[in-house]
Amino acid sequence: MIEVEHLTRTYGGYTAVDDVTFTAHSGRVTGFLGPNGAGKSTTMRVLVGLTPPTSGTALVDGRRFVDLPNPGREVGVLLDASAQHAGRTGREILTLAQRTLGLPRGSVEEMLDRVSLTEDEAGRRVRNYSLGMRQRLGIAVALIGEPRVLVLDEPANGLDPAGIRWMRDLLRGYADQGGTVLLSSHLLHEIEVVADDLVVIGQGRIVVSGTKEELLAGAGTLVRARDVAALAAALTAAGIGTTPTDGGVLADAEAGRVGETCLAAGVPLTELRAADGAGLEEMFLALTADTQREGAAA
């Protein structure tokens, strides 16, 4: 379990993390979501003791990270897959981890196998690695200590679709075994698919947090029709709030009621479903609209 309480980090007059409080529970994947520069990475660095907080606390299983006797055995950390010595081989980097953490020798080969780095790739120097290979190596470094908590900053970056699926399954399995996973991303879809809980951050502040179901419950129904105007009119007439979206509307009611309304109004639909996929994106953009660089992206 990760408990972050009233965490603040300022740089001179600039507040990168502003009174952030959230909890990542064990057995669950917590998605840490926010636009670039929102304070995700700073929060994670404070959590693992790389950046001293200005005020507030961050605890892992009730203890400060720096007070853990052998942190690598309890928390697997991947903050930046490129932060490795370019002149070391992948196998050497894992060997350093194995030795530092005091693990059995065989764990290096075991991890290489687990993250699907081949014998040949493991013997190459990291400067010749693709970003995807670096991510796999970084995951291996994070997992090698068999930790109960994972802290991963944008781990899906650079992975191909098969790699993203692999990562998702790995994190899901990890949480299902009782582990705690804190995962940051700006890839909304990726987070939505794997996360149980969501923490959305913008300009250093928590914008909203809760379980995915809670947050998506208010997202409504995505409904599309050839005649969008008629669709919107029918829903409005029935007292259902609508938000225009490309080729349809987001209706402020559950799918059954929307379907009945449209049938009664004689509007043929082309799509009708709970607005989970679009919902989170809409929510994300809406919640961070005033904090985003691009302004309100409608």
**Is residue 51 part of the contact set for another protein (CB under 8 A)?**
yes
**Is residue 268 part of the contact set for another protein (CB under 8 A)?**
no
Among 21, 23, 68, 187, binds another protein (CB under 8 A): 68
**Is residue 189 part of the contact set for another protein (CB under 8 A)?**
yes
CB of 264 to another protein, least distance (A): 27
Among 58, 174, 219, 242, binds another protein (CB under 8 A): 174
Among 37, 56, 59, 114, binds another protein (CB under 8 A): 114
Q: Which two tokens stand for residue 246?
A: 């490309």
Quick one: DSSP state of residue 10? Answer: E
Residue ranges in 14-43 that form contacts with another protein under rule CB under 8 A: 26-27
First to last CA, the chain: 36
CB of 104 to another protein, least distance (A): 12
Q: Are 205 and 288 within 8 A, CB to CB?
A: no
**Is residue 124 part of the contact set for another protein (CB under 8 A)?**
no
CA distance 2 to 189: 24
CB of 276 to another protein, least distance (A): 6
Q: Among the candidate windows 83-91, 156-164, 244-252, 261-269, which touches another protein by CB under 8 A? A: 83-91
Distant-in-sequence, close-in-space partners of 45: CB < 8 Å, separation ≥ 6: 51, 79
Q: Are 129 and 90 within 8 A, CB to CB?
A: yes
Query: Based on CB atoms, which residue is closest to another protein, 124 or 233?
Result: 124
Helix, strand or coil, per DSSP, at residue 109: helix
Please give the size of the binding site for another protein, defined by CB under 8 A: 60
Q: In 3D, which of 133, 139, 200 has the Cα closest to residue 171?
A: 139
**Is residue 255 part of the contact set for another protein (CB under 8 A)?**
no
> Phi, psi at residue 239, to the nearest 5°?
80, 20
CA distance 241 to 238: 9
**Is residue 179 part of the contact set for another protein (CB under 8 A)?**
yes
Among 59, 101, 265, 272, binds another protein (CB under 8 A): 101
Distances from the Cα of 194 to the Cα of 34, 132, 156, 181, 270, angstroms: 16, 19, 12, 10, 28
Q: Which two tokens stand for residue 15?
A: 């507040």
CB of 170 to another protein, least distance (A): 7
Among 121, 154, 192, 197, binds another protein (CB under 8 A): 192
Residue ranges in 144-173 that form contacts with another protein under rule CB under 8 A: 146-148, 168-170, 172-173
Among 12, 14, 83, 104, binds another protein (CB under 8 A): 83
**Is residue 49 part of the contact set for another protein (CB under 8 A)?**
yes
**Is residue 70 part of the contact set for another protein (CB under 8 A)?**
yes
Q: Which two tokens stand for residue 155?
A: 């781990």
Spell out a b/e string for 170-183, using b for 16 or more CB atoms within 10 Å of the CB, else e.
Answer: bbbebbeeebbbbb
CA angle, residues 250, 256, 262, in degrees to nearest 5 = 65
- For binding to another protein (CB under 8 A), which residues are involved? 1, 26-27, 45, 48-52, 61, 65-66, 68-75, 77, 79-80, 82-88, 92, 96-97, 99-102, 110, 114, 125, 141, 143, 146-148, 168-170, 172-174, 176-179, 189, 192-193, 276-277
